[in-house]
A and B are shown apart, each in its own frame.
Chain A
């Protein structure tokens, strides 16, 4: 009897979700910049269990990133100012993409650029590659040009979205910044520009001071705050955006467990990304999937889609 129930639960649980006509085996992906291109985590998790891997931001040319220290711990969170260090699109396509493709998971490539043209060039390079979706990072707070400069103004959000869309042969996710007065405005702008989905939130700009040395902890002075400390803000913003747009949302910000992920799903996210948790526990992504499944079994919810935006 016991055996039959657990067998049924396993078979009957549907964790598949779809975004822009693509089906993901479960709603869990990785937050860009916390998972490299998957290679570093291959020893710890079965990448084929993930709904998708979202890569670290890729630019046209290799970027060296910011000076060190690039990281500082804060209570329940961390600040980072990596500065989008990445090997550039050529190495990404030649080395990282084949590695990811050898696993049974969807690939979301995060795209960064200093100018609108550069975003478009990267998107164009990826148009003939075997990737599933592109995530346009217009919300990195740690680079002077590009990044957040595009993400804080609704007019510019719409403009860059429609520009990128012209070159993209894959569905486009626009990654939104929480460092705005009203995130539903930038969300609506991305939707108007033709975005197929939205991801939120990127990190919140923060600062930490070493009072003994009377110096900034980060060489960049400011950094992006992530981790459990920001989760309530992120859940609220996902809920706000879910009520402002019709396109699907990938929710993130401090997800450590399946329970955390479910808050985002109930707030209206179709998928969720595990970010900072990967640094604390390299097995976090699989544990989040297990946690979601356990919740579904426990509560006899056989289709994850029933939970999306179900909060009342």
Chain B
């Protein structure tokens, strides 16, 4: 009956890969078979006082071994709890949820910022066309080496410690990068910059958005973003990030 359901699944591996950033592999069963790049999983805490699931984007999918990889940042008490998970532990999980990236284009520009970078890894893996990859960090980098397998990687850091000092748009302009499709995930101010760049250069763009969620399945209407047109489901200018998103075409949403 159900496409997604809440299941108790096994942790295969969980390690810190950078200050506050963790790399988690889950024995995800059918979730891995169904998962697509850009979708997310809802992870539940063991502490009964923390009720709501934490939506975390899928970083890698291993359909053959039915494993899913999540790379997440410790943001609060819930993710702090996840950081303490050890291999062999179990946790409640639901997914895959949401609408992910649509694989398209002949020349792609993949633009990630901070903890918005992980969901782009599976995308980069599955996207067969030519691609440039631009990754923006505050300071310390992570996952950038893994992206090198899939395209030319450009890096920006706010403090200039790695790559170019500045932001992703600075890197794109400096290197005259162009494409017929942009895929992007990162903090909202960065996505605004990406959208502006895409519009100015008439490039189609898919953006992955985030917002605080409760249910993760489209019922609570907490995680809406503003849409340009009246949305088919909500009948107002709001789209549900957990359901119609998290990935939207840039011209669909007002960010």
Interface residues of A (CB under 8 A from B): 33-36, 40-41, 43-44, 46, 56, 62-65, 68-73, 75-78, 80, 82, 85, 87-88, 91, 227-228, 276, 278-283
| Complex-state Cα separation, A68 to B50, whole angstroms | 21
| Complex-state Cα separation, A72 to B237, whole angstroms | 23
Given contacts A44-B1, A72-B212, 8 further A-B contacts (CB under 8 A): A40-B215, A40-B217, A62-B236, A70-B223, A85-B234, A85-B236, A228-B48, A279-B214
List 25 A-B pairs, Cβ < 8 Å. A36-B218, A40-B215, A40-B217, A41-B219, A43-B1, A62-B236, A63-B236, A65-B221, A65-B236, A68-B212, A69-B211, A69-B212, A71-B213, A71-B220, A71-B222, A72-B212, A76-B49, A77-B51, A78-B52, A80-B214, A82-B221, A85-B236, A87-B233, A279-B52, A279-B215
> By the criterion CB–CB under 8 Å, are A279 and B211 in contact?
no
- Measured between C-beta atoms, what is the minimum distance from B189 to chain A in Å? 15
Pick the interface stretch among B3-11, B62-70, B121-129, B161-169. Answer: B3-11
| Complex-state Cα separation, A44 to B217, whole angstroms | 10
> Which residues of chain B are within 8 angstroms of A227 by Cβ–Cβ distance?
51
> By the criterion CB–CB under 8 Å, are B212 and A70 in contact?
yes
Which of A34, A41, A65, A78 touches B224 (beta carbons < 8 Å)?
A65
| Complex-state Cα separation, A65 to B235, whole angstroms | 12
Q: A62 with B51: in contact, given A78-B214, A281-B6, A283-B6 (CB under 8 Å)? A: no
> Which residues of chain A are within 8 angstroms of B221 by Cβ–Cβ distance?
56, 65, 70, 82, 85
> Which residues of chain B are within 8 angstroms of A36 by Cβ–Cβ distance?
218-219
Which of B219, B235, B243 touches A91 (beta carbons < 8 Å)?
B235
- Measured between C-beta atoms, what is the minimum distance from B221 to chain A in Å? 5
- Measured between C-beta atoms, what is the minimum distance from A46 to chain B in Å? 8
Instruction: Bits for B1-30, please: 1 = Cβ < 8 Å to A, else 0.
Output: 111111000000000000000000000000
Which of A70, A75, A280 touches B53 (beta carbons < 8 Å)?
A280
Among B212, B222, B238, the one with the most A-chain Cβ atoms within 10 Å of its Cβ is B222
| Complex-state Cα separation, A196 to B130, whole angstroms | 66
| Complex-state Cα separation, A276 to B51, whole angstroms | 9
> Which residues of chain B are within 8 angstroms of A69 by Cβ–Cβ distance?
211-212, 222
Which of A64, A78, A82, A278 touches B237 (beta carbons < 8 Å)?
A64
Which of A73, A77, A80, A282 touches B217 (beta carbons < 8 Å)?
A282
| Complex-state Cα separation, A62 to B236, whole angstroms | 6
Chain A residue nearest to B223 (CB atoms) is A68
**Chief secondary structure at chain A's binding surface:** loop
Interface residues of B (CB under 8 A from A): 1-6, 44, 48-53, 78, 94, 211-215, 217-225, 233-238, 243
> Which residues of chain A are within 8 angstroms of B44 by Cβ–Cβ distance?
280
Chain A residue nearest to B3 (CB atoms) is A43
- Measured between C-beta atoms, what is the minimum distance from B3 to chain A in Å? 6
| Complex-state Cα separation, A260 to B112, whole angstroms | 45
Query: Which 9 residue pairs spanning A and B have beta carbons closest together?
Result: A87-B235, A71-B222, A40-B219, A279-B215, A64-B236, A279-B214, A36-B219, A69-B212, A70-B222
> Which residues of chain A are within 8 angstroms of B3 by Cβ–Cβ distance?
43
| Complex-state Cα separation, A77 to B50, whole angstroms | 8
- Measured between C-beta atoms, what is the minimum distance from B254 to chain A in Å? 12
| Complex-state Cα separation, A75 to B220, whole angstroms | 19
Q: A43 with B234: in contact, given A68-B211, A70-B212 (CB under 8 Å)? A: no
> Which residues of chain A are within 8 angstroms of B217 by Cβ–Cβ distance?
40-41, 44, 282
> By the criterion CB–CB under 8 Å, are B215 and A80 in contact?
no
Chain B residue nearest to A64 (CB atoms) is B236
Chain B residue nearest to A77 (CB atoms) is B51
- Measured between C-beta atoms, what is the minimum distance from B11 to chain A in Å? 20
> Which residues of chain A are within 8 angstroms of B213 by Cβ–Cβ distance?
71
> Which residues of chain A are within 8 angstroms of B225 by Cβ–Cβ distance?
68
- Measured between C-beta atoms, what is the minimum distance from B72 to chain A in Å? 17
Chain A residue nearest to B243 (CB atoms) is A40
- Measured between C-beta atoms, what is the minimum distance from A106 to chain B in Å? 19
- Measured between C-beta atoms, what is the minimum distance from A226 to chain B in Å? 10
> By the criterion CB–CB under 8 Å, are A43 and B211 in contact?
no
| Complex-state Cα separation, A69 to B212, whole angstroms | 6
- Measured between C-beta atoms, what is the minimum distance from B225 to chain A in Å? 8
> By the criterion CB–CB under 8 Å, are A73 and B6 in contact?
no
> Which residues of chain A are within 8 angstroms of B238 by Cβ–Cβ distance?
64-65, 85
Which of A41, A44, A71 touches B214 (beta carbons < 8 Å)?
A71
| Complex-state Cα separation, A279 to B213, whole angstroms | 10
